[in-house]
């Protein structure tokens, strides 16, 4: 048990990133600092390399409800135009607790830690984690980054002790978006 705890702690420490800051060094206020329209390209990566999927536009905007934000993503690609009209819900901002409301009663729990919005969910036979962040805020290099990692939701290996289960990632979708307004 001690070895597992040290492994998890070591992994968490290695993955820790400092809180993103604006051009004046002040921490960014989430989600207000992310509001705007962002555009770029979405690609899929697997063992054979990267393949373009679609042009993406993400609109993040306040609504009349201060605890609800528009979170609309439009994909334009070979499969046509798809609009995901979601909302970001503030559960408890002081604890980094948010949710992405997909409509129809589907709310994906999300956590804002270290300047990154994280979601983790199973859909069908897939286990998915998503990571979204604004990097280099307030500079000419400012970008919205999105990365989604997908794996079958059945484990491929479990240690004899049963304390660690391994899943095999099969696909990454990644976008780097520029603020256009």
Structural domains of the chain, with CATH: 26-179 (2.40.128.20)
Q: What is the DSSP letter of 164?
A: -
What one-character DSSP code corresponds to residue 94? Answer: G
What global pTM score does this model have? 0.81
Q: What CA–CA distance (Å, rounded) separates 179 from 141?
A: 10
**pLDDT tens for residues 134-172?**
999 989 999 999 999 999 988 787 777 777 888 899 999
Of 109, 110, 112, the C-alpha closest to 133 is: 112
> pLDDT digit string (tens) for 70-108?
999 999 999 899 999 999 999 999 999 999 999 999 999
Cα–Cα–Cα angle for 117, 118, 123, rounded to 5 degrees? 135
Closest CA to 91 of 109, 105, 116: 109
Q: How confident is the model at residue 4 (pLDDT cuts 50, 70, 90)?
A: very low
Residue 13 confidence (pLDDT) above 80: no
User: Rounded to an integer, what distance in angstroms lies between the CA atom of residue 16 and that of residue 21?
Assistant: 15
* Residue 51, beta-bridge partner list: 44
Q: 177 phi and psi, to 5 degrees? A: -110, 145
Count CB neighbours of 49 within 10 A.
8
User: In the predicted model, is pLDDT for residue 19 greater than 50?
Assistant: no
Q: Is the peptide bond before 31 cis (omega within 30 degrees of 0)?
A: yes
**Which of 7-11, 59-63, 109-113, 126-130 is predicted with the least confidence, judged by mean pLDDT?**
7-11
Neighbouring residues of 40: CB distance < 8 A, sequence distance ≥ 6: 55, 56, 143, 144, 175, 176, 177, 178
pLDDT digits (tens, 9 = 90+) for 98-134: 999 999 999 999 999 999 999 999 999 999 999 999 9
Q: What is the pLDDT of residue 159?
A: 74
Within a 10 A sphere around the Cβ of 43, how many other Cβ atoms? 16
pLDDT at 141: 94
């Amino acid at each position: 048990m001690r070895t597992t705890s040290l492994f998890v702690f070591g992994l968490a420490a290695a993955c820790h990133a400092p809180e993103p800051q604006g051009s004046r060094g002040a921490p960014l206020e989430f989600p207000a600092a992310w509001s705007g329209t962002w555009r770029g390209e979405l690609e899929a990566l697997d063992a054979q390399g990267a393949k373009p999927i679609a042009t993406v536009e993400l609109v993040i905007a306040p609504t009349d409800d201060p605890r609800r934000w528009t979170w609309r993503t439009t994909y334009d690609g070979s499969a046509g135009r798809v609009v995901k009209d979601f909302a970001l819900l503030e559960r408890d901002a002081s604890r980094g607790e948010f949710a992405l409301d997909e409509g129809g009663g589907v709310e994906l729990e999300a956590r804002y830690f270290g300047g990154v919005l994280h979601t983790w969910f199973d859909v069908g036979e897939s286990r998915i984690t998503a990571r979204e962040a604004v990097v280099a805020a307030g500079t000419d290099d400012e970008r919205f980054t999105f990365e989604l990692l997908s794996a079958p939701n059945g484990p491929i290996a479990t240690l004899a002790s049963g304390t660690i289960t391994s899943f095999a990632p099969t696909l990454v979708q990644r976008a780097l978006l520029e603020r256009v307004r």
